[in-house]
A = this chain, B = another copy of it.
Amino acid sequence: METFVSEIATEKGVKAPLAEIEPKKRVARIPTISREVRLVSRPHGLPVPDNFTVVRVEVPPPGEDQVLVRNLYMSVDPYMRGRMNDVPSYVSPFQLNQPLDGAAVGEVIESRAPGIVPGDIVTSRLGWREYFVSGMREVRVVDRDVRPLSAYLGALGMTGLTAWAGLNLVDVKAGDRVLISAAAGAVGSIAGQLSKMRGCRVIGSAGSPEKVTMLLKELGFDAAFNYKDGDLPRQLKASAPDGIDVYFDNVGGEMLEAALSAMRPNGRIIACGAIGGYNDETPVSGPRNLHLFVTKRLTMRGFIVGDWFDRMPEFVKEMNAHIAGGGLVMKETVVQGIDRAPHAFVDLLRGGNIGKMVVKLTKEDSGPGHVGE
């Protein structure tokens, strides 16, 4: 799959080298047809294209207190893999032959909801589709001047909130030596930069030489290594000779075992995800050194970002300050077109992304209100 990376913030602020959507307040031509992605069979292991289909559906006109929204960007996230299994979890499983859902940012095309007007930019949970009609409470109007608007899916969205929540969960503070796995990914790249801003020494693990270089040269990590080079304990020792105080765990498995061994007394582990095991058909064994929890007085805490939604205003304020100050680099990998959304998702699970993986649902040269195909 072809993907391209847009670097969307610089030292001096925010820029948007890609042709950016410029929302304007005008009534758009009303679409009647939208494409949406449905799950048609449950994946075994890594998902394949046949698990998905793209369907054309009719979009009704909005009723009272409803809005019609054209999605500009949709998010693909690792947690969606769990929802493709038919097992109960903290979010309900996706249903077969129904559209998938997830975070999206879009433009209001038509509104019968008080206080919402065409041209407003809204976030919603109604991704994986080009257009939708929903009640006004299912969308949130956001600042239309943020660039790129896809930041609402990354640094300013659930991804950023996840990184921020994890660090707050175990009170990461100046002087902490922080290891971050999947450090070049959406959450890891933000968590690492926020840790640096808090005065930590930050070590990243990633899955390619390019990612390692990016962490060191662009995101300001103090050390980084490629986990695919193997011998994690040795690599970790080289990167963090004095051990680590905090481990931001996005992968589980062997890296967790190595991190436990490298932990300093009273170390804290943020259990954020275990992407390494999301596609496993058979659960893999856990670390062999959990006894270190006792001898090193370790703490491990898992969390769900949804439990932190009430702190969104505090989070947004802090992140906006970082972005305005030019200190936060927002990396993203953008895939074009809803028909390629399943590929983007699979590529994400393979580690094909750098930073936040998003799908751009409008054509590059399209503006708001242009109902392109």
Q: Is the CB of A296 within 8 A of B302?
A: yes
Q: How far is the CA of A293 from the CA of B290 in the complex (A)?
A: 14
Copies of chain A in the complex? 2
| Residues of chain B within 8 A of A257, CB atoms compared | 286
The interface residues of chain B lying within 8 Å CB-to-CB of A277 are 291
Binding stretch for chain B, among A37-45, A115-123, A267-275, A352-360: A267-275
Q: Mark A272-305, 1 if CB is under 8 A from B, else 0.
A: 1110010000011111111111111111111110
- B residues near A291, Cβ cutoff 8 Å: 252, 274, 277
Indicate which residue in B271, B285, B304 contacts A286 across the interface (CB closer than 8 Å): B285
Interface centre among A286, A293, A294 (most CB of B within 10 A): A294
Q: How far is the CA of A142 from the CA of B23 in the complex (A)?
A: 78
A294 and B272 contact, CB distance less than 8 A: yes
The CA of A292 and the CA of B296, in the complex, are separated in Å by: 22
Complex partner residue of A304 from B89, B283, B295, B303, CB under 8 angstroms: B295
Contacts of A272 in B (CB 8 A): 294
Q: Are A288 and B299 in contact (CB under 8 A)?
A: no
Give the chain B neighbours of A295 by CB distance below 8 A.
82, 89-90, 302, 304
Identify the interface centre among A252, A284, A287, A295: most chain B CB within 10 Å of its CB: A295
Chain B residues within 8 Å of A285, by CB: 285-286, 288
Chain B residue with minimal CB distance to A302? Answer: B293
10 residue pairs A–B, Cβ–Cβ below 8 Å: A90-B265, A257-B286, A273-B294, A274-B294, A294-B304, A296-B302, A297-B302, A297-B304, A298-B301, A299-B300
Binding site for B on A (CB under 8 A): 82, 89-90, 252, 256-257, 265, 271-274, 277, 283-304, 307
